Structure 1
Amino acid sequence: MEIIYGNTLADRIKADMKQKIDDIRAEGARLPLLSVVLVGNDPASISYVRGKEKACSSIGMLQRTIRLDENVSQKELNDVIMSLNLDSEVDGILVQMPLPSHLDETAALELIDPQKDVDGLHPMNAGCLLTNRPGFIPCTPQGVMAMLDSIGCKDLSGKRAVVCGRSNLVGKPVALLLQNRNATVTIVHSKTPDIEKIASQADILIVAMGVAQMVNENWVKEGAVVIDVGINRVNGKLVGDCDFESVAKKASYVSPVPKGVGPMTVCMLLSNTLDAYHMHVQGE
């Protein structure tokens, strides 16, 4: 059994991006800029944004955080998003979720210019993914696919993939990405009967259920590749949706939590922003 360390892979990808940004700086051109909109004082959101700020800084990418009061109106939030859409210096826009309950998250996401939607959550980008056209792909699913690439799982013809979870953020998009690689894909969720039996037939098992250590060796086919997207805190310790020690008995490859998918998610956000920059520069 081998461990797929997302943090190591992310470091390699970020080193390559840093070199590209160093080259841009040497040419005297403007640098890529990611703008993050943070509403309120949710500790988890603040921590996530701080991580994105640090990641941008590590590769020389410009980053700007717009902090808004938790009582901000929908109109005020919309105005901020529209101003970023119109700002030619801004390449990527990310509205940190969740928003306070009085704000409409869907309306905010739909207002982002699809060409600056580096989170890949705008309906236009979702539609591009569905129809296998170029567009921004959500960061976590994109990170999962990069992890599969790193172990040689590129053409998945003849492979059966099972995705545990059906969220718009992970489950659905990663299922489409696997299908675009020619895998035969099944999505299972909390209402699926015999979920363990179905999962145990997978050559590639992607787990994004949001239930700590739910998946054990009984869910895993001998020699399967298991990617654990879950992140849960149990007794002060971060754990995934898989019982790592149990799953490792049968998997050929497995990703850990932490140091697995999480670092890849942030890395793909930077990658999308750099792609947006090049698209905007070419269009100027």
Structure 2
Amino acid sequence: MTATVLDPSPVAAAFRDQVRADVQRLAEQGRSLRVVGLISQEKGPAATYARYAQRGFEDVGIELDLRRTTAAQAEAAVAAANTDADVDGLFLYYPLTDRTGDRWLRELVDPRKDVEGMHSFWGRLLYENTRFVDPERTVRAILPCTPLAVLKLLEAAGLHSDRENAPLEGVTACVINRSDVVGRPLAAMLANDGARVHSLDLSGPLTFEPAIGRHAHDVRASDVDRRAALAQADVVISAVPSRDFELVRGEEVKEGAICVDVAEYTNFAPSVQEVARVFVPRVGPLTIAMAARNLVRLASARQPRS
């Protein structure tokens, strides 16, 4: 078996078309959309991501204003964007300070402008599997853009059932790395859609039990190690940001699995493509499309500027 390599760019293009139409609709109402991106680095992954994001946003008619800041100025820069009526969204390109400082900055972003979906307001709704903000179910909750991109790619790879509230029922997934930005919310989103998820991290394994027969997923301690988790998984998603990570090898993976590489440095050995059914080598283009879609939803839910 040789894996089909799923390029995220065509999937992202379809979502960009949808976003472009929504942006045009808002423009016809006299509303242009503007995002502020805060960045502290001129080189490296954050700078590269910011350049791609700027092109992606501008492609759908959204202005992305990249602003340089420092660790000392970052908090004031977030506050200024929050209170600026001409700013519809805020994007933070990490690192801006240190790990603790960046976590605090995420909490300072106005949730109504949080295109990344990383504020705890959105996190609470995600972990409680609450999909709408209002009782009338007219305003959708915002989901973190990278995990959301992964779910859309799994759908494009053909991984879904006919059950509306449990499209991943019967699926076993393995998510390697339990970061607050990608791994943890992704495991929760998969489980909320009906999958059983083995979450592997340096702090030990956890299992996210599916939200079937209950409102939201459940998390329990687990003794499922890497070998067992990979052998069981219909889906393997790895997001370890380290060159020292022991690559996932073909002999570890269940034949016919879908494998998704979210990491800055590849997390999969070439041999995986000899065993997997579908291999997704990156998610970046779709992450940017999901952030743009989040912005449109946030802007649509807010009152027009006076």
Scaled to the shorter chain, the TM-score interval is: 0.7 to 0.9
Q: Write out per-residue CA displacement over residues 193-239 of structure 1, whole angstroms, 9 at most, x where no aligned residue.
A: 7412321110111112234570111221011111111221xxxxxxx
Q: How many residues align?
A: 268
2:30 counterpart SS class: coil
Q: Write out per-residue CA displacement over residues 111-149 of structure 1, whole angstroms, 9 at most, x where no aligned residue.
A: 111121111221221111100123322211010001012
- 2:100 and 2:144 mapped to 1: Cα distance? 22
Shift of 1:163: 0.9
Please point out which of 122, 127, 141 is paired with 1:125. 122
Does the Cα contact within 8 Å between 2:190 and 2:197 map onto a contact in 1? yes
**1:254 aligned to 2:279?**
yes
Across the aligned residues of Structure 1 and Structure 2, the Cα RMSD in angstroms comes to 2.3
Please point out which of 160, 164, 171 is paired with 2:172. 160
1:169 counterpart SS class: coil
Aligned partner of 1:278 in structure 2 is 300
In the superposition, the TM-score normalised over structure 2's length comes to: 0.80
Please point out which of 78, 86, 89 is paired with 1:81. 78
**1:176 aligned to 2:162?**
no
Matches within 5 A, 1:1-284: 1-25=3-27, 27-68=28-69, 70=70, 73=72, 76-101=73-98, 104-134=101-131, 135-154=141-160, 155-190=167-202, 191=204, 194-212=225-243, 214-232=247-265, 240-243=266-269, 245-256=270-281, 260-281=282-303
Aligned partner of 1:236 in structure 2 is none
Amino acid at match of 1:84: A
- 2:146 and 2:177 mapped to 1: Cα distance? 13
Shift of 1:19: 2.4
1:242 counterpart SS class: coil
Between Structure 1 and Structure 2, which shows a larger proportion of helix residues? 1
Shift of 1:77: 2.9
Amino acid at match of 2:87: V
1:60 counterpart SS class: coil
Does the Cα contact within 8 Å between 1:91 and 1:280 map onto a contact in 2? no
Shift of 1:171: 0.8
1:231 counterpart SS class: coil
Shift of 1:101: 4.4
Q: Which moved more, 1:172-181 or 1:155-164?
A: 155-164
| Structure 1 residue runs of 4 or more that deviate by more than 4 Å after TM superposition | none
Does the Cα contact within 8 Å between 1:189 and 1:209 map onto a contact in 2? no
In the superposition, the TM-score normalised over structure 1's length comes to: 0.86
2:274 counterpart SS class: coil
| Alpha-carbon distance change, 81 to 214 in structure 1, aligned in 2, over 3 angstroms | same
- 1:102 and 1:18 mapped to 2: Cα distance? 34
Q: Write out per-residue CA displacement over residues 157-188 of structure 1, whole angstroms, 9 at most, x where no aligned residue.
A: 11111111111111101100100111111111
- The runs of 5 or more residues in structure 2 that have no matched partner are 132-140, 161-166, 206-223
| Alpha-carbon distance change, 44 to 207 in structure 1, aligned in 2, over 3 angstroms | closer
Amino acid at match of 2:15: I
1:17 counterpart SS class: helix
Aligned partner of 2:208 in structure 1 is none
- 2:251 and 2:40 mapped to 1: Cα distance? 42
Aligned partner of 2:210 in structure 1 is none
Shift of 1:282: 6.9
